[in-house]
Amino acid sequence: MSAMILHWALTAALVMLTLAMACTTVRLIRGPRAQDRVVALDAFYVSGMLLLLVFGIRSGSTLYFEAALVIGLLGFVGTVALAKFLLRGEVIE
């Protein structure tokens, strides 16, 4: 019973997060200006991180947690670098 509940809930969550990543991809491609694309990229990596966390619950191993942590760290650095580039025209002055 509990296995069935978890299985269906985690499958539904995976489908929803994949749809979320699809929405951000559409905005990433269509976004009229550069800052729209950067916000879409930010939301994209956050959705990917959540996808990995849900996948870790589904497979019952804590290995996916480290991957999610690395995605969070590197995504923050990437978004800040892109914002700095939009503001100043170069990343390291």
Partner 1 sequence: MSPDTELPLWAAIVTAALVLLGASLALIGTVGLLRLKTFYERVHAPTLGTTLGIGCILIGSMVYFTVLETRPVLHELLIAFYMTLTTPITLVMLVRAALYRDRYHGRNQVPDSDPPKSTLIDKDRGRD
Which spans of this chain sit near partner 1 (rule: CB under 8 A)?
1-3, 5-6, 8-10, 12-14, 16-17, 19-21, 23-24, 26-27, 33-36, 38-40, 42-43, 46-47, 49-50, 53-54, 56-60, 62, 65, 68-69, 72-73, 76, 79-80, 83-84, 86-87
Whole-angstrom CA distances from 14 to 20, 54, 56 are 10, 7, 11
Assigned token pair, 3: 């296995």
Q: Which of 64, 63, 29 is nearest to 44 (CA)?
A: 29
Compute the least distance from the CB of residue 56 to partner 1, in Å: 7
